[in-house]
Amino acid sequence: MMKDIAVELERDERKEMVKELEDGVVQLLAASDDCMHLSEAIQSIGDEIEPGPEPTNFKKKFDEEIAKSKARSSSHAQNQSLLRQFREAIWHVHHAGQPLPGDEQEDIVMTSTQCNLLNVTCPLSGKPVTELAEPVRSMDCKHIYEKKTIMQYLKSKTSRGQCPVAGCPKILKAQRVLCDPFLLIEIDELMSTSKQNRPDAIEDFTVLDDED
């Protein structure tokens, strides 16, 4: 992962390369947003457009649909959280336990422990998202599922396509349930956090020390 590489570079005091990598993360997040909005616009136009006597102004339609996608998107907050985690990891290499410059300690704790994932278990299989073979996420409601299970669910006649998460009113479309660019990164972050918070983590190190 880019964060792990940046941490190693920071330990080696290679500041310029760390900055270049951070700039790359910012560009990657922005490009991912652009691709997501464009994909949603293409899908929306494909579902709605119908042949007519007058030629369609596709540029205008694309601009309108992209604007709608951006208006309903929650990706900005999600991306800011990912970027914050990246910067925190670098900062803590030489400033462990200290807040980022300009931030209060309470804010750091809340942001660092926040999970970006809307659900941590698949509502159909009951498996934790960290154990899913092919995790996918709805582009509409942001809930996460096992790919094989959710696709079987959507094909069934009884589901009506509604999200299986209790209380979620969204109607799912198979082509809008996918593994987006940051889902695997967020799941990996959840796994790392879970390992750090395990109560038996210290005990494992103690056992190793005793054996040495």
Q: What is each CA distance from 158 to 66, 173, 175, 177, 198, in whole angstroms?
A: 33, 15, 19, 19, 40
Are residues 54 and 8 part of one domain? Answer: yes
Q: Is 47 helix (H, G, I), strand (E, B) or coil?
A: helix
Let me know whether 127 and 81 are in one domain.
no
Residue-number span of the structural domain to which 175 is assigned: 117-196
Count of beta carbons in the 10 Å neighbourhood of residue 66: 17
Q: Is the pTM of this model over 0.75?
A: no
- Residue 108 located in a structural domain: no
User: Which DSSP letter does residue 175 get?
Assistant: G
102 belongs to a structural domain: no
Q: Where is 23: in which H helix or E strand? A: helix 15-48
Amino acid at 179: C
Residue 34 lies in a domain: yes
Q: Are 122 and 191 part of one and the same domain?
A: yes
Residues 37 and 88 in one domain: yes
Is the domain of 35 the same as that of 121?
no
Q: Give the pLDDT mean for 33-37.
A: 81
For the chain, how many structural domains are there in total?
Answer: 2
Whether residue 28 is found in the same domain as residue 66: yes
Checking if the pLDDT of 146 tops 80, the result is yes
- Residue 107 in any domain: the answer is no
More confident residue, 15 or 58: 15
Tens digits of residue pLDDT in 76-132: 666 777 788 788 888 889 888 888 776 554 443 434 445 578 899 999 999 999 999
Q: For residue 211, give both structure tokens.
A: 């054996």
Mean pLDDT over the full length of the chain: 79
Residue 104 lies inside a defined structural domain of this protein: no
CB-count exposure of residue 148 (10 Å: 0-12, 13-18, 19+)? middle
Q: Is residue 110 part of a domain?
A: no
Question: Based on the domain organization, do 92 and 123 belong to the same domain?
Answer: no
Q: Tokens 């208006």 identify what position?
A: 71
Q: How many CA atoms lie within 13 A of 53 on its CB side?
A: 0
The answer on 154 and 78 residing in a single domain is no
Dist CA 160 CA 8 (whole Å): 49
Within-domain flag for 160: yes
Q: How far is CA 108 from CA 6, 84, 139, in A?
A: 20, 10, 29
CATH of the domain at 122: 3.30.40.10
> Same structural domain for residues 31 and 60?
yes
Final residue of a domain: which of 39, 64, 96?
A: 96
Name the pLDDT band for 62 (thresholds 50, 70, 90): confident
- 167 within some domain: yes
